[in-house]
Amino acid sequence: MGVEKRLLEDARSFANEVTSLDEEGFISRTRAALGLPPKDSDTVTESENEETPGGPAAPSGQPRQGHQISDLFVKHN
């Protein structure tokens, strides 16, 4: 198969896959981890958290378990 055809097929598959990403959850968790003030849209319910592809539900306003951005601050400083 030609390179361009492979790219087009992969891009089609990619476009379908990204629709299932939990973008709102990512924004909410990352903003919370950076200590940015919560926004109305950051409110994530328990049931929504259970559905996130990022693993177990995190308490509202907290990063996912196992990935604490504050730890990275310490590591990089």
Partner 1 sequence: MSSHPGPDKEEDFDAWFGEAARKILRDAYFVTRNPKLAEDIAQEATLKFFKAWGNEEMRGKILTQPGYVRTTIYHCYLDHVRVPSRTSQREVELDVARHDKSSTEIDRDLRLAVLALGDMERDMIVLHYYHDLTIREAGSQLGLSPSQAYRLHDSALAQLAGLLDEGKA
Residues that bind partner 1 (CB under 8 A): 3-4, 6-11, 13-15, 17-18, 20-23, 26-27, 29-31, 33-34, 36-37, 53-55, 63-64, 67, 69, 72-73, 76-77
Residue count of the chain, please give it. 77
Q: How far is the CB of 43 from partner 1 (least distance, A)?
A: 15
Q: How far is the CB of 46 from partner 1 (least distance, A)?
A: 19
Dihedral class, residue 65 (left if φ above 0, else alpha if ψ from -120 to 50, else beta) = beta
